[in-house]
Amino acid sequence: MLSWFVQNLATILISAVLLAVVTAVLAGMVKSRKKGKSGCCGGCAGCAMNGCCHKENP
């Protein structure tokens, strides 16, 4: 068991780092979404989804 772990140590470390990066990105996206921020720049005039992603201002 220990020899298998040593032989695959690089793969395990790289996988752990990639998992941490993906988790951090997803957590940041959820945090931004909860604050009300979206992924677009807000310039809806030339967007194909014009008026669909933002609520209308009264």
Res 58 pLDDT > 60: no
pLDDT, tens digit, 9 for 90 and up, residues 20-46: 999 999 999 888 888 877 666 656 777
What's the token pair of residue 23? 């988790």
DSSP string over 10-52: HHHHHHHHHHHHHHHHHHHHHHHHHTT--SS-S--TT-TTTTT
